[in-house]
Structure 1
Amino acid sequence: MFVEAIEKVEQFTRPIHFIFRYYGGSDIVPGTATLFFVNEDGFAITCKHVARQILYAKSIYENYLKFRAELRKFEKDPGFDTQRQLLESRYKITEENPIRVLYNFIHCVQSYKALNIHLHPTQDLAIIQFRDFESIQYQGRAEFLKDSRLVKQGRYLCRLGYPFPEFTNYQYNKATGDIEWLKEGKIKTPSFPIDGIITRHIGEANEVTGIEMSTPGLRGQSGGPLFDPNGLIYGMQTSTRHLHLGFDQINKEVVSDGYRRRVSNYPFLNVGQCVHVDVIKRFLRENKITFHEVG
């Protein structure tokens, strides 16, 4: 049902590749996200939480470099460990937060010189503008649903994104102590569609702002389009909600492989959450960005 729609939408939907390095290790953690273009002028939309990683990538590393520079002053100090802990607290350096974030836009535009990023004030939505580029590397642009009354429970829709980071073109450079992109290695990450039906509208302050889907959005699909069999855009994937079903089984005896075992299970229903098409169009209009409607 979605074969032709996926072929159409995939032309203007692109992955964002990330690599992360965390404090105390040299391991590189790859990640992905998704964006899609709304016109031929280099304007795309994605999630606000994705755009923030791009916006703050430089300041995260600068903060770590300042921490490391101050820590060097105490290398021969008997109280080095104490000073390190104090500096970790001051600069908010923890093993849970990355100290280095690099990103790479895949087949978006050729040789852009700058980015403009606009964050929505309340919704998980952002606009990315590629500036001063030589040429676009995507084809076509999104066509948004004009009549949002068609966003109804039970409507069968699809999402497209890049949830599985299969790229390998990166390394940890021991000489510099930093992570970096390579020209060698696998650069592509395959797209992955997931279908479902609209289950509920999500509202805030008497306004419908989101669409709930019967199936979860996968990590890396954040920022990907939600579309119908004609390729019309109904929204954008942002997150997955975990609904507790209440069918808890606590210390229940079961027979598995011929053995009696005690198990506990707390089932949840994972549903997708998308930004509503009306929210997207309103934000584009507020920023005077050209887009196309159909229907």
Structure 2
Amino acid sequence: MFVEAIEAVDQFTRPIHFIVRYYGGDYIVPGTGTLFFVNDQGCALTCRHIAKQILYASTIYENYLKFRAELRAFDRDPGFETQRIYLEKKYKITSQSPIRILSHFVNCFSSYKSLAIHLHPTQDLAIIQFRDFGTKLYQGHARFLKNSKQIKQGKYLCRLGYPFPEFTNYKYDKHSGDITWTTQGRITTPSFPIDGIVTRHIGENNNIVGIEMSTPGLKGQSGGPLFDGSGIIYGMQSSTRHLHLGFDQVNREVITDGQRQRVSNYPFLNVGQCVHVDVIKNFLREKNVTFHEAD
């Protein structure tokens, strides 16, 4: 059903690799996001929550460097721990705080000098515009659905993204105390499609802004295209909604492996949430970004 469509969409859909270091640890957490290109001028779409990681990465690291520099003055001070706690509050740093985020756009261009990011004011949508780029490493571009009235309950669609971060080309530098990309290790992450049917439209302020799918969007697929069997784009994967089913089982006795056990279960249905194609096209028009509709 989607074999040829996936092959076509894969030509202009790319992963974003992230590596993150959190405060208080030297371990590296890898992650992925997805973007797809809408024209040949280096303009792509992704989720706002993905783009914000790129946009605010420098600010996060600069805040940590200021904290570290101020704390260093108390290295030999008997009140070091007191000062550390004070400075953590001052700079709003906790064990859950990322202190370094690095991103890498995989197989998009041979090089680029800068980029501009436009965040949608209300929806989980962002435009990334690459500037002064070298050889283009993607082929083709998205073709958006022209008439959104075709999006009805039961419509069978597919999403493509990069939910499983299998790349290993990074390391922690003990000398500098920083994380970095390397030329060793695996540099790619495989794409992963997931199908489903349209279950409901998502409304906001009397407007349809999203499409709910019967299957969840996987972590890392955020920013990936939602498309039909012809490769026409209907929207963009954004998040997963968790719908409580009400079939709760509390302290119920069951037999497992020949033993009686007391278990509780609170089941949820995980469904995908996608940004609607009309929201995408309107935002592209607002930012004067060229895009293409299917004939």
Q: After TM superposition, is the score higher than 0.5?
A: yes
Within-5 A mapping of 1:249-288? 249-288=249-288
**Structure 1 partner of 2:102:** 102
**Structure 1 partner of 2:234:** 234
**Structure 2 partner of 1:13:** 13
Q: Deviation digits for residues 53-108 of structure 1, max 9, x if unmatched?
A: 00001111110000000001111111111110010011011111210000000011
Q: Deviation digits for residues 185-213 of structure 1, max 9, x if unmatched?
A: 11010000000000000000000000000
**Structure 1 partner of 2:127:** 127
SS of 1:293's equivalent in the other structure is coil
Deviation at 1:153, TM superposition (A): 0.4
**Structure 1 partner of 2:53:** 53
Q: Deviation digits for residues 131-176 of structure 1, max 9, x if unmatched?
A: 0011211000000000100010000000000000000100001111
Q: Distance in 1 between matches of 2:11 and 2:94?
A: 40
Q: Distance in 1 between matches of 2:225 and 2:51?
A: 16
Question: Which amino acid in the other structure matches residue 19 of structure 2?
Answer: I
1:211 aligns with 2:201: no
**Structure 1 partner of 2:188:** 188
Q: Distance in 2 between matches of 1:242 and 1:92?
A: 30
**Structure 1 partner of 2:88:** 88
Q: Distance in 2 between matches of 1:258 and 1:183?
A: 52
Q: Distance in 2 between matches of 1:109 and 1:289?
A: 19
Q: Distance in 1 between matches of 2:101 and 2:72?
A: 23
**Structure 2 partner of 1:113:** 113
Question: Which amino acid in the other structure matches residue 96 of structure 1?
Answer: Q
SS of 2:65's equivalent in the other structure is helix
Q: Which runs of 5+ in 1 are unaligned?
A: none
Q: Distance in 1 between matches of 2:288 and 2:55?
A: 22
Question: Which amino acid in the other structure matches residue 99 of structure 2?
Answer: I
TM-score by length of structure 2 reads: 0.99
Q: Distance in 2 between matches of 1:121 and 1:62?
A: 25
SS of 2:69's equivalent in the other structure is helix
Q: Distance in 2 between matches of 1:92 and 1:226?
A: 38
Q: Distance in 2 between matches of 1:278 and 1:219?
A: 24
Paired residue total:
295
SS of 1:254's equivalent in the other structure is strand
Q: Distance in 2 between matches of 1:143 and 1:23?
A: 42
Q: Deviation digits for residues 34-58 of structure 1, max 9, x if unmatched?
A: 0000000000000000000000011
Q: Distance in 1 between matches of 2:135 and 2:120?
A: 27
Question: Which amino acid in the other structure matches residue 272 of structure 2?
Answer: G
> 69-78 or 9-18: which moved more?
69-78
**Structure 2 partner of 1:154:** 154
SS of 1:280's equivalent in the other structure is helix
CA contact (8 A) 1:109 1:130 kept: no
Q: Deviation digits for residues 243-285 of structure 1, max 9, x if unmatched?
A: 0000000000001111110000000000000000000000000
Q: Distance in 1 between matches of 2:72 and 2:134?
A: 43
**Structure 2 partner of 1:72:** 72
**Structure 2 partner of 1:289:** 289
TM-score by length of structure 1 reads: 0.99
Q: Deviation digits for residues 15-38 of structure 1, max 9, x if unmatched?
A: 000000011111000000000000
CA contact (8 A) 1:35 1:223 kept: yes
**Structure 2 partner of 1:175:** 175
CA contact (8 A) 1:225 1:233 kept: yes
